[in-house]
A and B are shown apart, each in its own frame.
Chain A
Amino acid sequence: MTAISMTVNGKAVSADVEDRTLLVHFIRDHLHLTGTHVGCDTSQCGACVVHVDGRAIKSCTMLAAQADGATVMTIEGLAKDGKLHPVQEAFREHHGLQCGFCTPGMIMTAVDIIRRKPALDEKTIREELEGNICRCTGYHNIVKAIAAAAGAKA
């Protein structure tokens, strides 16, 4: 067992976890924040994307112990004071989801893309979404939502 502590969505958390615990399982099973999804379990689909120290990563491909001392943000941490984050709002406005399974990862990646890239055209958005798979193939509206959120910010 390994003792870990980190800040998740602004709250200090600590636990003793089995060494092999993945960050995504710590988030879901120990913290009961089930917005972060496990889609493929092979590090490809990006449904598990969270931010660790301000960078979007696949939480199924990081040990919880590696995140010891880190600041983690999950989809649950985006909305503030009952108000959706502008990217969440854009996904709703532009219907950027079908079944919704990939949505938490898509939104966490989108927030990261918009933060990193000052100018976002459609091609860049599609390239940047390489690590997120929507099995409904609903990319068109996802790209539209991200472009709208990026434009609103600028």
Chain B
Amino acid sequence: MYSFTYRRPASLAEAQKLFEGASDPKFLAGGQTLLPTMKQRLNAPSDVIDLGKIAELRGIAKSEGGLTIGAMTKHFEVATSADVKAVIPALAELAEGIGDPLVRHMGTIGGSVANNDPAADYPAAVLGLGATITTSKRAIKADEFFKGMFETALEPNEIIKSFAFPKPEKAAYMKFPNPASRYAMVGVFVARTAGGVRVAVTGAGPCVFRVPEMEAALAKSFTPDAVASIKVPAGDLNSDLHGSAEYRAHLVTVMAKRAVAAAG
């Protein structure tokens, strides 16, 4: 790892000021992606600004119509929260399946979503539930947040504060994990909400995406059979040593069916 200057602000305002004054800074959330990439010298920030001591970024609260989860809330906390299990059990289950228990004790929802890894789990929940992302500057709808591979609507010095998840009528997440990394080869989050059915797919393409054809079919009939014959085109999907684009396209349908069945 190259050397850097470690900063630990006590407030959001201080974090942003430190960011402004640094030449090539990075915000540090749980560090479960950033630190490994720094060790591999894929990332070499001048300043690492640790958000770990900013109290307002943490915590889970039941809110009107759903849940609000602070950006620095750890996967373990979401997975074991009585409120999350009661309001959106699918979200607790998704968090329980991220990485391994040791990673879940450190990794955060805000870090995962800000990084927008194509195979991360949380983006599927954020998009699948139509969450709203509140940042240091504004509120962003999930549909406008995810822009591409590792790309989001966040500006360089914009920090995610919290996520507002509306309570769905039904929801489930099913993933086919890579057996070594536990990242999603394909993960599908299905939710029936007051605003309609949403289907969000992670792992398959360069960025999490919705499948409107499946959503329309599930709006008519919320059953596994409704999506059984709907295939996403393989053209834009990832192809690597773990699986071809055609294989991933097939998995999208299989995982969507399983998610609908699990949602009940």
Q: Give A contacts to B, CB under 8 Å.
A: 2, 18-20, 22, 41-43, 46, 49, 55-58, 60-63, 65-66, 68, 109, 112-113, 116, 128, 130-132
Known: A42-B36, A56-B102, A65-B8. 12 other contacts (CB 8 A): A19-B3, A20-B1, A42-B39, A43-B32, A43-B103, A55-B76, A56-B101, A57-B102, A63-B35, A63-B48, A112-B101, A132-B100
When the two chains form their complex, are residues A43 and B36 in contact, meaning their CB atoms are under 8 A apart?
yes
Taking a contact as CB atoms under 8 Å apart, the answer to whether A113 and B101 are in contact is yes
A131 touches B100 (CB 8 A): yes
A22 CA to B103 CA in the complex, in Å? Answer: 16
**B interface vs A, CB < 8 Å?**
1-6, 8, 28, 31-32, 35-36, 39-40, 48, 50, 52, 76, 99-103, 105-106, 182
**In chain A, what residue has the closest Cβ to B74?**
A55
From B3, B52, B102, give the contact of A131 (CB < 8 A): B102
Residues in B neighbouring A19, C-beta threshold 8 A: 3-6, 48
A111 to chain B, nearest CB (A): 12
Residues of B within 8 A of A130 (CB): 99-101, 182
Q: Are B3 and A18 in contact, with the CB atoms below 8 A?
A: yes
A63 touches B31 (CB 8 A): yes
CB distance from A138 to the nearest CB of B (A): 18
Enumerate chain B residues within 8 angstroms of A49, measured Cβ to Cβ.
102
B32's nearest neighbour on chain A, judged by CB, is: A61
Smallest beta-carbon distance B75→chain A, Å: 12
Q: What residue in chain B is nearest A65 (Cβ atoms)? A: B6
In the assembly, what is the distance between CA of A22 and CA of B48, in Å? Answer: 13
**Pairs across A and B, CB under 8 Å, 13 listed:** A43-B103, A46-B100, A58-B106, A62-B35, A63-B35, A65-B6, A66-B28, A113-B101, A116-B101, A130-B100, A130-B182, A131-B101, A131-B103
